[in-house]
Amino acid sequence: MLEASRARRADRLPELGEIIKAAHCNEPVQGLTHEFYRYPARFSPLFVRAVIKTFTRLGDAVLDPFMGGGTSLVEAMALGRRAVGCDLNSLAVFLARAKTTVLSQPQVERLSAWASDVVGAELEAPTVRRDNGDPCFRNAPWWISSRIHSILDKIQEIESGDLARAARCALLKTAQWALDCKERVPGSFDFVKRFEESIADVCSGYQDLRKTISGLPKRPAAPRALHRSVVGLEADRRIPAAWKPIDLVVTSPPYPGVHVLYHRWQVRGRRETPLAYGICNTNDGQGTSYYTMGGRHHRSLDRYFELLGQAFSSVRKVVSPDAWIVQMVAFSEPSWQVGKYLSVMKDAGYGEVELSDHAGKERIWRDVPSRKWYIRIGRDLPAGKELVLIHRPR
């Protein structure tokens, strides 16, 4: 019966209208737990939702091998699918796990009550300079650092690990608002008031996620967010055997030749801070090229494509023979990089789906407005272009 089901799925030609519409949608990211953090070059939840609905059924398994902030895992979970993701970045893993946690209403109420006490105490307390030499606080203004230290002390008193992680998410959201890509940094009391708003947003997100999950025929299993490279994923025993082979891969790998800071914030110009890791109590210590598969310069793109091939070769070993692989990728010089990318995918065991048979066009390109990362622009590339690629195992 399973083989017959797969055969039927392999033959179907899904309508891509919803995917195309979602790819071109420029609505702000919102809903569920998606607003906890602005992860660089993140997916549109609408796009991921359309892809999952188009290519999978209730109970199918979805993989995001470059999961970033966990958008794919949240959407898969909310749609009743099993979800697996992995990432080299410990910050990404923290976020994915926090955003896919289902808090009960009493837990949300306890978090809100705790935050009210903290905000009240912080607003009454003067801003005291506090510097313990923590390298994670490098380049963060002292008045912001002092408030963060004070709130972190109070977070450590929370008994529930899930609630402590949710509180750290709210603090992370607040600190990103205050510092990332900001020329002018707010005052400490404005920071505390914003933390109060962030707690409310986080509580609302958890309530939205719980309500969505409760409306499903069956509550999905908790997603697996793995801190690891996708290379060698096929041997990872943390993926339940019953979830394999994977039915859908939806992902957005690092972009060749495009400069994205996944592990740093930029404060008042180009001064970088790893503060996010201090807030989340996760490990940092790698350079930019570690997270981008080799960096953005021409001389390093050979390394990028080598690692890309290794990554998708591992993915090939865990997906179903009739799985769908959907990616959203940007290129600094598409005139040659698109062809090279497709060649690597072919060598890894995939064939590109000809969209002219499905959507009446060759490929789907989308404009990305107001994205806060820096791009080396090729002569034929408008800044902020992304390409949707669809493949299947050969």
For the segment 87-113, what is each residue's pLDDT rounded down to a tens digit?
999 999 999 999 999 999 999 999 999
pLDDT value of residue 383: 45
178 touches 144 (CB < 8 A): yes
Three-state DSSP at 258 gives: strand
202 lies in the same domain as 265:
no
Q: Is 36 a residue whose pLDDT tops 80?
A: yes
Give the pLDDT band of residue 380 (cuts 50, 70, 90).
Answer: very low
Question: What single-letter amino acid sits at 394?
Answer: R
Token digits of residue 21: 């519409």
Give the pLDDT band of residue 7 (cuts 50, 70, 90).
Answer: very low
CA distance between the termini of the chain: 23
100 within some domain: no
Q: Is 124 a residue whose pLDDT tops 80?
A: yes
Instruction: Summarize the confidence of residues 43-47 as an average pLDDT.
Output: 93
270 lies in the same domain as 329:
yes
Better-scored residue on pLDDT, 5 or 117: 117
260 within some domain: yes
Question: Looking at 171, 186, 212, which one is the last position of a domain?
Answer: 212
Give the pLDDT band of residue 372 (cuts 50, 70, 90).
Answer: very low
pLDDT value of residue 4: 41
For the segment 163-210, what is each residue's pLDDT rounded down to a tens digit?
999 999 999 999 999 999 988 999 999 999 999 999 999 999 999 999
99 within some domain: no
pLDDT value of residue 370: 54
Instruction: Summarize the confidence of residues 344-352 as an average pLDDT.
Output: 97
Kindly state the percentage of the chain with pLDDT values over 70. Answer: 89
32 lies in the same domain as 60:
yes
192 within some domain: yes
The total number of structural domains that make up the chain: 2
84 lies in the same domain as 126:
no
For the segment 226-285, what is each residue's pLDDT rounded down to a tens digit?
999 999 999 999 999 999 999 999 999 999 988 888 999 999 888 999 999 999 999 887
pLDDT value of residue 374: 44
Quick check: pTM over 0.85?
yes
Q: How far is it, in rounded angstroms, from Cα 289 to Cα 222?
A: 31
Angle, alpha carbons 314-352-224 (nearest 5°): 35
pLDDT value of residue 132: 65
217 within some domain: no
pLDDT value of residue 259: 82
Kindly state the percentage of the chain with pLDDT values over 90. Answer: 75
What are the C-alpha distances in Å from 326 to residues 48, 51, 84, 87? 9, 8, 15, 17
208 within some domain: yes
**Lowest mean per-residue pLDDT among 25-29, 92-96, 312-316, 385-389:** 25-29
Beta bridge partners of 271: 267
133 lies in the same domain as 181:
yes
pLDDT value of residue 369: 63
Q: Is 8 a residue whose pLDDT tops 60?
A: no
259 lies in the same domain as 115:
no
Token digits of residue 151: 């709130």
pLDDT value of residue 298: 64
pLDDT value of residue 13: 54
pLDDT value of residue 134: 85
Better-scored residue on pLDDT, 1 or 247: 247
Domain that holds residue 57: 2-94+223-278+285-393
361 lies in the same domain as 230:
yes
pLDDT value of residue 376: 40
333 touches 391 (CB < 8 A): no
Residue 297 belongs to domain with CATH number? 3.40.50.150
Question: Looking at 161, 187, 212, which one is the last position of a domain?
Answer: 212
Question: Looking at 212, 233, 251, which one is the last position of a domain?
Answer: 212
15 lies in the same domain as 76:
yes
- Tell how far CA 29 is from the center of its chain: 12
Q: Is 339 a residue whose pLDDT tops 80?
A: yes
355 lies in the same domain as 254:
yes
Virtual CA dihedral for 370, 375, 381, 383, nearest 10 degrees?
Answer: 10
What are the C-alpha distances in Å from 301 to residues 132, 206, 294? 40, 40, 7
143 within some domain: yes
| Sequential DSSP letters for 91-125 | HHHHHHHHHT----HHHHHHHHHHHHHHHHHHHHS
Q: Could you tell me whether strands 61-64 and 374-375 are parallel, antiparallel, or unpaired per DSSP bridges?
A: unpaired
Beta bridge partners of 273: 265
pLDDT value of residue 110: 97
Q: Is 385 a residue whose pLDDT tops 90?
A: no
89 lies in the same domain as 140:
no
24 closest CA partner among 385, 373, 377, 378: 385
218 within some domain: no
Q: Is 378 a residue whose pLDDT tops 60?
A: no
Maximum pairwise Cα distance, the chain: 69
80 touches 217 (CB < 8 A): yes
344 lies in the same domain as 248:
yes
State yes or no: cis peptide before 186, omega within 30 of 0. Answer: no
233 lies in the same domain as 371:
yes
Mean pLDDT, the chain, rounded, equals: 90
